Amino acid sequence: MNSDLLIVLGLLCATIVMFTVNRPPMDAVALLMMILLPMTGIITVPEALAGLADANIVLIAALFVIGEGLVRTGVAQQLGNVLVRRAGKSETRLILLLMGIVAGVGAFMSSTGVVAIFIPVVVRIAFNLSIAPGRLMMPLSIAALISGMMTLVATAPNLVVNAELTRHGFEGFGFFAFTPFGVPILLIAILYMFVARHWLCSKETLANPAASRPRFSTWIKEYQLKQRGFRLALQSGSPWIGRTIAELNLRSRCSLHIVSIERRRHFSTSILSPQADTVLEAQDVLFVSTNNPKIDINALCRENHLLELPFPDAYLSDISHSIGMAELIIPPNSKLIGKTVLESGFRTEYDLAVIGLKRNQQAWADLIREAKFAVGDVVLVGGSWHAIRKVHQSDHRDLIVMNMPLELENAVPVHAKAPFALGILALVVGLMVWGVIPNVQAALIGCLMLGLCKCIDMSSAYRSIHWQSLILIVGMLPFSLALERTGGIELAAGILGRLGGLDPRIMLAALFSVTALLGLFISNTATAVLMTPLALAVAGEMNVSPYPFCMTVALAASAAFMTPVSSPVNTLVVGPGRYSFFDFVRIGVPLALLVMLVTVALVPLMLPFTPVNME
């Protein structure tokens, strides 16, 4: 063992210690190593910075942006809504659906992002089922980690392993090369969690998330909106077709407030916030609220060729991604005091419809349009989230936002663009699967198309990129080259080669174990950076195909179940799940052993040890 290798190993040990204690932050440690390694003379400054020009780094950044496009268009949230509807009251069905959906979504976007999206969904479901969130948060994080075993682009370690293969002259893995291993592992993990959930906290339940923030359903009851809300479809021949909302003047003529408009597009239904100049079209569905308890809705429909549609209990929640409600209070000295809704020009001024009124804690039962605003009145308004936020963030002295609903979390900026986001995602995946162009180009094309279709803007695209993760990868890549240049990889390969003897399966188990144990102290991405060159060297030492060994490293890197610091995915669920360090150990260690057994059994069947030629 030469002095250069001792220096590199010393720096590596220092890195692992700093990662373990998380002082300084991991990305700062990576930057520090990018500075120190060239000072040793073992690698040059350009070699230390080469990762910044690596195509896989650009690919990872582009995938963050594509994931943000799915969030901004509501695709990810809609999957959460499906989970809520399908799971019902069954915890077993919930775990099955939760892990399946999370693993499926995580195969195409950041697993960290997926967990962040699903945490509030899981918290609400846990309260509704009166179970501890800790029984669901662990399945959530495990499924997110296993999603990294589904596709080539699902997680950074896969891309690191693939890049190292191609750098050594071998053909890279295909887009779905990981799927035959990921699916069986997911099924086993789901069955395992059916049992292991009983080892998690079962007594502590989270406080009602609606205790401090009301829901739409609360206001529907309090303001009796169910009796005053209607869905009206414009049939052919309706005199309302082709006229603007201002021309119809429904507030004065019929005491109707148009809260939203459902308009059928080519591939989806859009929810529009009504404006004075909005022109109504045939087949539009108007959601209207009336403050006139004596209105004859049947006569109105007959006279204007309208069709009354069902108004399901969950209707307002279903459209909450675009249309919101809020409770406002009339403060002293407000210019609205003493004026009616019409006199104040409320809709024109705030772009919101008054759909309810409370005075002295009692809902107003008479015509709201005839009521004069008074100090302390609570006004329930409906309209676009943009208009509600505008009132909330402004310095209005005439209105104070008293309550924002829990459904605000479901609001997405560009819900109408969801079909475009799905189409672009399908195109990107198709280009990657067919191999028409390099993966990084396919992802960049997807980013540009998301911007062109206005699914995402530049500021949100930059914010979506997890720069700390990229710096961590870039900073750890020089270690691979330094260990290879000083003979560290060759030395470790020789030791493992002698341990493996004549049976490559033993070597697979050894590689998996070392990768998983290393992942206890440093991130799975950094683990993949360090272990992939070792896997390639071991394959060369044994004169067998490198693919089984590289696949084993990739799968082991994603099996970061054993500690809360092994992956940001685990760290995210510690708080909501109220987990201790030992919770991850007792759940994660047995699962990691199961994954290792499946890997050692399946990998040689799908990827034979037979030597392969380089490209």
pLDDT in tens, 532-542: 888 888 888 88
Q: 229 pairs with which residues across the strands? A: 289
pLDDT of residue 167 exceeding 70: yes
Please indicate whether residue 356 or residue 593 has the higher confidence score (pLDDT).
593
* Whether the Cβ atoms of residue 305 and residue 237 lie closer than 8 Å to each other: yes
C-alpha to C-alpha distance for 328 and 593, rounded to whole angstroms: 56
pLDDT number for residue 494:
67
pLDDT number for residue 77:
67
Averaged over 188-198, what is the pLDDT?
A: 92
pLDDT number for residue 233:
93
Q: CA dist 153 to 64, 111, 289, Å?
A: 11, 11, 48
pLDDT of residue 210 exceeding 50: no
> Following DSSP, what letter does each residue of 206-270 receive, concatenated?
PPPTTSSS--HHHHHHHTTHHHHEEEEEE-TT-TTTT-BHHHH-HHHHH-EEEEEEEEE-SSSEE
Q: Give the percent of the chain with pLDDT over 90.
A: 27
pLDDT of residue 206 exceeding 50: no
In tens, the pLDDT along 23-74 reads 788 788 889 999 999 999 999 999 999 888 888 788 878 878 887 888 788 7
> pLDDT-derived band of residue 265, with 50, 70 and 90 as boundaries?
confident
Q: 269 pairs with which residues across the strands? A: 264
> pLDDT-derived band of residue 110, with 50, 70 and 90 as boundaries?
low
In tens, the pLDDT along 561-588 reads 987 767 777 866 777 787 877 788 889 9
* Whether the Cβ atoms of residue 244 and residue 435 lie closer than 8 Å to each other: no
> pLDDT-derived band of residue 203, with 50, 70 and 90 as boundaries?
very low
Q: Indicate the pTM of the whole model.
A: 0.65
pLDDT of residue 336 exceeding 80: yes
* Whether the Cβ atoms of residue 456 and residue 14 lie closer than 8 Å to each other: no
pLDDT of residue 205 exceeding 60: no
Alpha helix (H) residue ranges in 543-580: 547-558, 568-577
* H-helix or E-strand spanning residue 354: strand 353-359
> pLDDT-derived band of residue 522, with 50, 70 and 90 as boundaries?
low
pLDDT number for residue 24:
86
C-alpha to C-alpha distance for 106 and 446, rounded to whole angstroms: 17
Averaged over 455-483, what is the pLDDT?
A: 83
Averaged over 255-264, what is the pLDDT?
A: 85
> pLDDT-derived band of residue 521, with 50, 70 and 90 as boundaries?
low
Please indicate whether residue 268 or residue 475 has the higher confidence score (pLDDT).
475
Domains defined for the chain, CATH in brackets: 65-205+416-467 (no CATH), 216-404 (3.30.70.1450)
pLDDT number for residue 207:
47
Measured in degrees and rounded to the nearest 5, phi and psi for residue 480 equal -55, -50
Give me 212's structure tokens. 């401090």
Q: 285 pairs with which residues across the strands? A: 233, 262
Which amino acid type is present at position 110?
Answer: S
pLDDT number for residue 63:
79
> pLDDT-derived band of residue 15, with 50, 70 and 90 as boundaries?
confident
Give me 557's structure tokens. 């890197």
User: How many other CB atoms are found less than 10 A from the CB of residue 213?
Assistant: 15
